[in-house]
Amino acid sequence: MSADYDILVIGGGIQGAGCAQAAAAAGYSVAVLEKYDRPGLGTSCKSSKLIHGGLRYLETAQIKLVHECLSERSLLLRNAPHLVTLESFYIPVYKSSIRKPWMIWIGLALYALLSGKGFNKIPKEKWDGLDGLKTEDLLAVYQYHDGQTDDQHLTESVMRSAQQLGAEFISSAELISAQCSAGLCKAVYQQGDEQKQILAKIIINAAGPWANLVLQRITPKPPPADMDLVLGTHIVVPGSLEQGMYYMESPQDRRAVFVLSRPDGIMIGTTETAFHGSPDQVDPPESDIEYLIEVYNHYFQNLICRSDVKRAFAGLRVLPTGGDAFSRSREIMIHTDAINPQVFTVYGGKLTAYRATGERVIKLVKHLLPKREQQADVKCLRLP
């Protein structure tokens, strides 16, 4: 029995789209199963909408990750200028801030060294023009630049790029089961009222928060990695930011929280709350909403209340088990096991680094696949 495809990707979020694009560019035949009717509707559309290096990851010495993300940011600014823009970000530092001005300066200097983009200190006489930022006990304000996007549109664009290279996107399709043996995986999926079958040489499980649930449907069943689901909430309130975006230190727990300008208002996020429910039922907790309101009101003069929240949404991150969520590694993890070496599971990962993740996955799986002729270099591909 011959395979329909070299690779079957489970999950059409940003990581699945990146894997499909990299696979198709490398010349492999690839199909993507996505349970929703469009790419990126599961959890990829519920991010902070940032294309960034992750300035805060320097605190935990994740320099390799920051460098990779900043390199990917540069590629996206070149290859998708209609989707990714470079914006001004401000970091206010107060007497009560744990991160003192000299610490912020060192972090920004390293960030600038890695990115090639400079930063500056805002003169005190300009503080009153910073979108109503409170200036009492304010010690310094730093300005740097990072990228912003529409995460769902970006995911759709990457998937369209994969399709232009020959990948097949199968929507509204949920994996029921998969049986792997002798270099072939037979997957059964539900699409509408029909059960259909697809044959592939390997499976890339890029189902995000659903990844371990997908593994339970595969035989032989690969053991899951030790991962936690962490919920991140954002809220949107009326208004706009004229000067740029803001990177704040939460007064409650000293985490990083962004205050961002979006087409539908001001977006504030995110939180990091342990999640133990079903990934199909994710709602923003009231405690998270109140937390974000408190952060905003701590820093801005135009106070908001619960009734000002136009919209709240929450998504799930997949992080390594153990420790405080804020300090855990954001590095991608690609998991496989001798029990079923034809199945590769992608855990975690950053929106910004989807392309690098896709290339890394394809390098890992190609020893199981026939040699193909490369079609394109994804570093140079303009996104549609």
The structural domains of the chain, ordered by start, are 5-44+152-226+330-368 (3.50.50.60), 88-147+228-322 (3.30.9.10)
Would you state the pLDDT for residue 350?
Answer: 93
Nearest CA among 206, 185, 205 for reference residue 197: 185
The band of 320, judged by pLDDT with boundaries at 50, 70 and 90, is: confident
Residues 54-68 have a mean pLDDT of 90
58 vs 190, more confident: 190
Burial of 320 (0-12, 13-18, 19+ CB in 10 A): middle
Residues 49-70 have a mean pLDDT of 92
Let me know the angle formed at the C-alpha of 30 by 29 and 32, rounded to the nearest 5 degrees: 165
The band of 6, judged by pLDDT with boundaries at 50, 70 and 90, is: very high
Would you state the pLDDT for residue 182?
Answer: 85
Is the confidence at residue 53, as pLDDT, over 60? yes
Which amino acid, 320? Answer: P
The region of weakest confidence among 174-188, 310-324, 337-351 is 310-324
The answer for residues whose C-beta is within 8 angstroms of residue 211's C-beta and 6 or more apart is 11, 205, 224, 227, 318, 345, 346, 347
Work out the percent of the chain whose per-residue pLDDT is above 90.
92
Would you state the pLDDT for residue 195?
Answer: 96
**Cα distances (angstroms) measured from residue 83 to each of 147, 349, 382:** 10, 20, 11
Asked if residue 220 has a cis previous peptide bond (ω within 30° of 0), the answer is yes
Is the confidence at residue 369, as pLDDT, over 90? yes
* 169 three-class SS: strand
Q: Cβ–Cβ contacts within 10 Å for residue 86, how many?
A: 15
CB 49 within 8 A of CB 73: no
Would you state the pLDDT for residue 324?
Answer: 63
DSSP string for 262-308: ETTEEEEE---EEE-S-TT-----HHHHHHHHHHHHHHBSS---GGG
Question: Alpha helix (H) ranges present in the chain?
Answer: 14-25, 63-79, 101-115, 151-164, 211-215, 286-299, 354-365
Residue range 210-263, pLDDT digits in tens = 999 999 999 999 999 989 999 999 999 999 999 999 999 999 999 999 999 999
CA-to-CA distance for 157 and 164, rounded, in angstroms? 10
Residue range 86-141, pLDDT digits in tens = 999 999 999 999 999 999 999 999 999 999 999 999 999 999 999 999 999 999 99
The mean of the pLDDT values for the chain is 94
Residue range 127-142, pLDDT digits in tens = 999 999 999 999 999 9
Asked if residue 357 has a cis previous peptide bond (ω within 30° of 0), the answer is no
The band of 323, judged by pLDDT with boundaries at 50, 70 and 90, is: low
Is the confidence at residue 325, as pLDDT, over 80? no
Would you state the pLDDT for residue 61?
Answer: 86
Would strands 138-149 and 84-94 be described as parallel, antiparallel, or unpaired?
antiparallel
The band of 331, judged by pLDDT with boundaries at 50, 70 and 90, is: confident
Is the confidence at residue 312, as pLDDT, over 60? yes
Residues 317-326 have a mean pLDDT of 74
